[in-house]
């Protein structure tokens, strides 16, 4: 009991701490002191997706990852993936920007020409006799490593050398997606948005599906839009959502409704459902189905998964058995990995999000479209895009709809007489859960409790409020 009281006392010292899990203080989204506390106590202690490994396919390739005022170089070496703090050991010059290859020339400081190889070892100092031997000791001038581990085709970094291993901190999210072979997925496109809102607001737009009825009406049949929409527990699934199947009266409607939904998602996310998946559905349109609507729905989904699996493998893709993956129901439509990473998998594809703060009321939102590709297919490494405005007309329809809400939500927090957000205990609990986990980091709760809490936060959306153990 003493430890629990100690944790409560620590969290009580956090400004705007969450004392009621159904109410989130509004100032957490714009107060500068709270933002500074996140910069000091959260971001230096959490695993962050720093790059996709396909960005650095060759020995010597490096890419820069930036978070707040910190910069890290992630490098592919002959022995694997390494990461180094991006700073010259001489006078503090940032060594590199963007991406490049340091196998031949090394990393060269543009100020005085000091040089390091891809393993972070100093290989050149101009006129070393000008310096005392003590300051040129190997431990003094080799680049300082940053902790790095890999999962799912990505490199993750952590500034805390004492943090628990990556896999411990991202379960059950990691196991949920391993069956989908996400490590084999490759980038089709990569976009970025500069959003005029707090980084947490940007994430919370994807923590629940409750907003779909109003924000994304095209994803629902016309019969259940607006006041006719019902958001509820799906029978046997353990998850919530808008059931489209309840509007189907005939087996033909099952097929047509499924194909229309796939097309809307393909157009709306420009990649979450791949064009090749839509083509499979079109080819199966006239298949024989049972008269009973529920039986027809099951038969249609089974045949669709079987054929997507068969064609994917025939095309040289390392595809799992989507029939089995679908039966396991390990992932939901949107899946969150604390503190700022998402995967949205369907068949052999996934959308992926990463959100980083750039100020108390601004953030960078990156969006990838991923898909399985043949192992031997040659492609140029993906490169970080120039961020677009949130209202750029070229955004795919679904992100455009989400981004249109966020600036007004950020402004609404300042409108007056708004002290806290109110949450549904049943479908908006993920917002409460991850926000209270942030409080744990800010309060200095012991690592064992934080790791246990992460396992309750990582996973699908539309989750209920949970007891995090502190």
Structural domain spans, the chain = 2-43+179-204+351-460, 48-158, 212-328
Question: Using CA atoms, how far apart are residues 331 and 388, in angstroms rounded to an integer?
Answer: 30
**CATH architecture group of domain 2-43+179-204+351-460:** Alpha-Beta Complex (3.90)
Buried b (16+ CB within 10 A) or exposed e, 193-225: bebbbbbbbbbbbbbbbbbbbeebebbbbeebb
Question: Using CA atoms, how far apart are residues 183 and 189, in angstroms rounded to an integer?
Answer: 16
The pLDDT value recorded for residue 239 is 53
The CATH homologous superfamily to which domain 48-158 belongs is Rieske [2Fe-2S] iron-sulphur domain (2.102.10.10)
Mean pLDDT of 367-389: 95
The pLDDT value recorded for residue 3 is 42
* pLDDT tens column, 308-317: 999 999 999 9
Question: Using CA atoms, how far apart are residues 236 and 196, in angstroms rounded to an integer?
Answer: 40
The pLDDT value recorded for residue 11 is 85
Question: Using CA atoms, how far apart are residues 51 and 83, in angstroms rounded to an integer?
Answer: 11
* pLDDT tens column, 260-309: 999 999 988 877 899 999 999 999 999 999 999 999 999 999 999 999 99
The pLDDT value recorded for residue 97 is 97
What is the CB neighbour count within 10 angstroms for residue 374?
11
The pLDDT value recorded for residue 12 is 82
Inform me whether the pLDDT recorded for 9 exceeds 80: no
* pLDDT tens column, 431-470: 999 999 999 999 999 999 999 999 999 999 999 999 999 9
Question: Pairing state of beta strands 335-337 and 341-346?
Answer: antiparallel
* pLDDT tens column, 332-348: 889 999 999 999 999 99
The pLDDT value recorded for residue 245 is 47
Q: Which residues contact 208 (CB under 8 A, 6 or more apart)?
A: 424, 427, 428, 430, 431, 461, 462
* pLDDT tens column, 398-421: 999 999 999 999 999 999 999 999
What is the per-residue DSSP string for 289-335?
--SSHHHHHHHHHHHHHHHHHHHHHHTT-----HHHHHHHT---SSE
User: E strands within 312-405?
Assistant: 335-337, 341-346, 349-359, 362-372, 388-389
The pLDDT value recorded for residue 225 is 61
Inform me whether the pLDDT recorded for 81 exceeds 70: yes
* pLDDT tens column, 244-258: 545 688 999 999 999
Q: Which residue has the tokens 């919530």?
A: 240
Calculate the alpha carbon distances from 109 to 37, 67, 443, 445 in Å. 32, 21, 39, 40
The pLDDT value recorded for residue 331 is 85
The pLDDT value recorded for residue 218 is 87
Confidence of residue 236 (pLDDT cuts 50, 70, 90): very low
Inform me whether the pLDDT recorded for 66 exceeds 80: yes
Question: Using CA atoms, how far apart are residues 68 and 323, in angstroms rounded to an integer?
Answer: 43
Inform me whether the pLDDT recorded for 139 exceeds 80: yes
Residues pairing with 155 in the sheet: 51, 150
Q: Which residues contact 315 (CB under 8 A, 6 or more apart)?
A: 276, 374
* pLDDT tens column, 99-132: 999 999 999 999 999 999 999 999 999 999 999 9
What's the mean pLDDT when you consider all of the chain? 93
Question: Using CA atoms, how far apart are residues 96 and 120, in angstroms rounded to an integer?
Answer: 13
Mean pLDDT of 190-218: 94
Tokens representing 119 are 């393993």
């Amino acid at each position: 009991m003493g430890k629990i009281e100690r944790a409560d006392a620590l969290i009580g010292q956090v400004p705007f701490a969450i004392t009621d899990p159904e109410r989130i203080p509004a100032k957490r989204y714009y107060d500068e002191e709270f933002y500074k506390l996140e910069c000091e106590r959260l971001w230096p202690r959490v695993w962050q997706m720093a790059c996709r490994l396909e960005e650095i396919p060759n020995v010597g390739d490096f890419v820069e990852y930036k978070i707040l005022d910190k910069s890290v170089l992630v490098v592919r070496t002959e022995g694997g993936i390494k990461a180094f703090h991006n700073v010259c050991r001489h006078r503090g010059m940032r060594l590199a920007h963007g991406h490049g290859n340091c196998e031949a020339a090394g990393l060269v400081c543009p100020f005085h020409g000091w040089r390091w190889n891809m393993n972070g070892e100093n290989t050149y100092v101009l006129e070393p006799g000008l310096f005392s031997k003590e300051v040129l000791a190997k431990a003094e001038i080799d680049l300082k490593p940053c902790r790095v581990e890999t999962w799912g085709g990505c490199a993750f970094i952590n500034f805390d050398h004492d943090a628990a291993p990556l896999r411990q901190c991202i379960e059950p999210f990691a196991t949920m997606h391993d069956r989908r072979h996400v490590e084999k997925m490759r980038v089709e496109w990569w976009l970025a948005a500069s959003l005029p809102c707090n980084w947490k607001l940007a994430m919370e737009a994807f923590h629940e599906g409750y907003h779909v009825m109003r924000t994304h009406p095209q994803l629902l049949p016309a019969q259940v839009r607006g006041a006719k929409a019902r958001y509820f527990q799906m029978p046997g699934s353990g998850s919530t959502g808008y059931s489209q199947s309840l509007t189907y009266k005939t087996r033909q409607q099952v097929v047509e409704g499924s194909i229309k939904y796939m097309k809307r998602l393909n157009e709306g996310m420009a990649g979450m459902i791949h064009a090749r998946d839509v083509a499979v559905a079109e080819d199966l349109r006239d298949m024989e189905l049972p008269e009973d609507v529920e039986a027809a729905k099951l038969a249609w989904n089974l045949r669709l998964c079987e054929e997507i699996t068969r064609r994917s493998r025939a095309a040289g893709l390392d595809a799992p058995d989507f029939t089995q993956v679908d039966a396991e129901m390990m992932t939901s439509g949107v899946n969150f990995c604390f503190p700022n990473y998402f995967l949205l998998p369907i068949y052999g594809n996934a959308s992926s999000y990463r959100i980083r703060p750039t100020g108390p009321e601004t953030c960078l939102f990156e969006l990838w479209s991923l898909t399985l590709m043949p192992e031997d297919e040659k492609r140029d490494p993906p490169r970080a895009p120039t961020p677009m405005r949130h209202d750029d007309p070229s955004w795919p329809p679904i992100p455009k709809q989400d981004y249109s809400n966020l600036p007004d939500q950020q402004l609404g927090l300042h409108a007056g007489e708004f002290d806290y957000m109110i949450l549904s205990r049943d479908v908006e609990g993920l917002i409460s859960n991850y926000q209270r986990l942030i409080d744990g980091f800010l309060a200095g709760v012991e690592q064992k409790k934080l790791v246990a809490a992460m396992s309750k936060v990582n996973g699908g959306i539309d989750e209920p409020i949970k007891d995090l153990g502190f």
